[in-house]
Amino acid sequence: MKSNKIALAAILLWIVTIAVFAWFFIRGNTVAGTDNRTAVVLAVGERELILSEMRSLLGGVQGILDSLNHGDMKQAASAARVVGMASAVDVNPALMAKLPIPFKQLGMSVHSDMDGLALAAESGKPAAELQTMLTATLSKCVACHASWQLKAGN
């Protein structure tokens, strides 16, 4: 009888642990922001890493646009590929756990869009179509920046 109680307590503790982990994985480490956005609270180095990634994405956008203006689809594909999903594979799981699901979804979809843009450029899609794809991707950047701010904390 005593072992049944211990087993039940262990199962309940396991369920509570999973539920708490799921809550933080979905919600992330967030607080109310100062300007009606949600602030994601990160360590200083984590914040700098994400801001650096955003600057890389912006540089990729500039490279794509410059390449399209010069009619260089090979270079446009290369600029997009640099900031595609391959650039996001080595993210620290502890950092990912601090990011709310919608933030992660937007970020990963931008990287995925860049891979799609690279494929479209490599397959010879016209510049106007690539610009339309890039515009759709940039709308995700705008939505993210309108919703979230990164706050250095713990």
Q: What's the predicted TM-score (pTM) here?
A: 0.81
Structure confidence by residue, pLDDT tens digits, 15-48? 766 666 666 666 668 888 889 999 999 999 999 9
What does the pLDDT average to over 49-74?
Answer: 96
* 22/10 Cα distance (integer angstroms): 18
Are 75 and 67 in contact by the 8 Å Cβ rule? The answer is: yes
Beta strand ranges found along 16-154 (DSSP E): 30-32, 38-42, 148-152
Cα–Cα distance for residue pair 86/111, rounded to 1 Å: 8
Locus of tokens 């794509």: 64
- pLDDT tens per residue, range 135-150: 999 999 999 999 999 9
| Rounded distance between C-alpha atoms, residue 19 and residue 14, angstroms | 9
Strand partners, 32: 38
What's the number of domains the chain is made of?
1
CATH code of 77's domain: 1.20.120
* Position with higher pLDDT, 153 vs 78: 78
* Mean pLDDT computed over 59-66: 97
66 versus 153: the higher-pLDDT residue is 66
Going by pLDDT thresholds of 50, 70 and 90, the confidence category of residue 119 is: very high
Q: Domain of residue 24: give its range.
A: 2-152
